[in-house]
Amino acid sequence: MTTLEAFHDDIYFGGQWVRSLSGEFTDVIDPATEQVWGRVPSANDADVNAAVTAAHSAFRGSGWSDIGAAARAGFMERFAVELEKRGEELANVVTSENGTPITETRQAAGHAAGLLRYFASLAGYVDQEDIRPFPGRPEQATRVVREPQGVCVLIAPWNFPVALVMVKLAPALIAGCTVVIKPAPETPLDLRVLIAAAEAAGIPAGVINLVTGGREAAGTLLQHPLVAKVAFTGSTAAGKMIAEQCGRLLRPVTLELGGKSASLILPDADLSLFSSVLNRTCLRNTGQTCYNSTRVLAHRSIYDEVVSVVASTVAGTVQGDPFDPATVFGPSASARQRDTVEGYIQIGKDEGARVVAGGGGRPAHLDRGFFVTPTVFANVTNDMRIAQEEIFGPVLVVIPFDDENEAVRLANDSSYGLGGSIFSADTERAMALARRIETGSVGINFYGSNQAAPFGGWKDSGIGVEYGPEGVSAYLKLKSIHHYV
């Protein structure tokens, strides 16, 4: 349970905390206690303009884009150290904001620091200039150089508010961009810790700027004429609106959106292994993770056994106070999200699916908080809404298949294409199946992102990728300079 209090009236731009001009505020609510413990400004157009202008001035005037990626990498290494110093503070704030269990949020600072160090290691890639001869004209060549996009708007969600900022911020910094960050209204306070770490690391004023608020602030940011690039993680519905606005402005955009990923359980799968990684692969962060494999596709020969394993694993997992290190499932992040999850559980019952664990409602041992009892449905068909629509909560469906071709068809029968997993004792067989799944990433006998490899969605799960050198490329633009040798 949080004992924090954080009531603020300022936003951050040009290296300073400045009182917001809006006079309107957003409350921060602890989802485990339903208590208001913080407040931040809801930025207006003037606030947003000040932040973007500061970022633009820093891009043009501070030398950040001119000092070279190797020098920027030095700042990023110091930034990583300062973040790690604030790891426990950061964990406490995030858990109080969104209810993510403390064992998860205690990894946030280290993960963010790792991202800073990884992208700092790509300085040579950013600074490298390619010399390409003209075909058939040896006396002429082209020098291909990489330059930063400019001012980037980074819009992050509430489920992993530090990591999903840093996966945008770190590549933007090494590329030489300056940024304006707008966090989700539910999770605005953790970024104040991040700003403190950036200041202690000596990041120049105006390179990182922060505005808080809702859709109005986001809309102003998206349309600001000084913005050169947008990166967004969130729902597919919001992502489509952002893509439309960026399209009209011919503004580059990276979108990491929703998912309804499938986990294929083949007849030779080790079900004890599957059980041991089920919560991480299928229900990470109380089901509030975009790539979760929330559709479990089980071969009919082992269907009943898989249903039993999934139900017993989920029912036996600790749910409760997110500050208790034993807790794996916390609350939904907000009352609205709780209501959404409860609505889908009722939809599943109405569709005729069979509840084999949970069934919704707040657990009997908890007297407050936005908790939903983790729920597993069996006898599910892939055309049910609970199998097609993203629920973003602790709900799993188990669907049978008869052969591998049907498993692939069911996995691909989705408007989404973000993650997925395959469990089999035959790695080569699983690898062949993974190549047939229409999704941006697939794990074999586990699921986990690799910061050195691209992560992004297909279909309604997004545009572009994050992580890896490909993630840096999104913050760079190319220039070809033709010359005589």
Q: Calculate ∠ Cα 83-86-88, nearest 5°.
A: 130
Sign of CA dihedral 172, 178, 180, 183: positive
* H-type alpha helices, 351-450: 385-388, 404-412, 427-434
Tell me the C-alpha distance between 138 and 207, whole Å. Answer: 42
Residues 228 and 245: their CA atoms lie apart, in Å, by: 13
Task: Report the C-alpha gap between 363 and 369 in whole angstroms.
Answer: 10
Active-site annotation holds for 256: yes
**Residues pairing with 60 in the sheet:** none
Query: 23 burial class (0-12, 13-18, 19+ CB within 10 angstroms)?
Result: exposed
Say how many residues make up the chain: 485
Residue 188 dihedral angles phi and psi, to the nearest 5°: -95, -15
8 Å CB contact between 175 and 472? yes
Q: Among 97, 104, 186, 256, which one carries the catalytic annotation?
A: 256
Catalytic residue among 177, 246, 290, 342: 290
For this structure, is 342 an active site residue? no
Half-sphere exposure of 64 (CA within 13 A, CB side): 30
Nearest to 342 by CA among 380, 304, 395: 395
CB count in 10 Å sphere of residue 379? 17
Structure tokens at 60: 């043009």
Give just the sign of the alpha carbon dihedral 150, 156, 161, 167: negative
Residues involved in catalysis? 256, 290
